Amino acid sequence: MQIIFENHDFVIFNKPQNLNFHSEDGEAGFVVLATKQLHVEQLYSVHRLDKMTSGLIILAKTSKVANRFAKMFLNKEIQKFYLALSLRKPKKKQGWVKADMGASRRGTYKLLKTKENQAITQFHSSTCRAGERIFLVKPHTGKTHQIRVALKSIGSPIAGDVRYANADEAKKEDRGYLHAYALGFTLNGEEFSFVCPPFDGERFLSDEAQKTLLEWAKPWELFK
């Protein structure tokens, strides 16, 4: 797997899509594969990505550093940006989705009408090829399936997402079109920022999508 950055405290991988985060049904997951790749006894997960999601993910090298990252996530001191692509026109081209989330059927989630512990998602979008819309998404909270549910709620489920888009259509796609695109944080007084475009997915690699990614090369500037 591609290593984006490594120092004595942590390592950042570009996780492939269609790979479970933890081992499942006898199949080695991302954390196990990363540990073997670095020839170390243990790496510590501080956040996770769904199986269908590719992109940037942090693994700490010690429990002490893992605890520091955990506090940073809790205090919203780590900026995360995602790319998503949909085959449906959104109800709004940019803005916010703010609502509580609750369990729905068959391992999915849904937005609720209450506002007690909201999932907060901010997004921009742009047209790609005919029938395609690409999204730059900044989650301000870290709920399970948050981005997938948020985009479905505005009428733009993610292409290739068999749980939240039309299942028959989704199965025809070459991947689920959600990618952890950028990370930014400060650790030990040093500022870190990483941007990692997706390397697979025909729709992500189209000329139109690539042109948009050039415009989104510094995603934190779009969300000031």
Burial of 165 (0-12, 13-18, 19+ CB in 10 A): buried
Residue 42 tokens read as 């243990």
* Among 25, 50, 161, 207, the one annotated catalytic: 50
Burial of 167 (0-12, 13-18, 19+ CB in 10 A): exposed
C-alpha 158/C-alpha 160 separation (Å) is 6
Q: Count the alpha carbons within 13 Å of 112 in the hemisphere toward its beta carbon.
A: 12
Residue 48 tokens read as 């996770």
Q: Is 50 a catalytic residue?
A: yes
Strands 133-139, 119-127: parallel, antiparallel or unpaired by DSSP?
antiparallel
How much of the chain is in helix, strand and coil states, percent to nearest 5?
20, 35, 45
C-alpha 34/C-alpha 3 separation (Å) is 9
Q: List residues with catalytic annotation.
A: 50
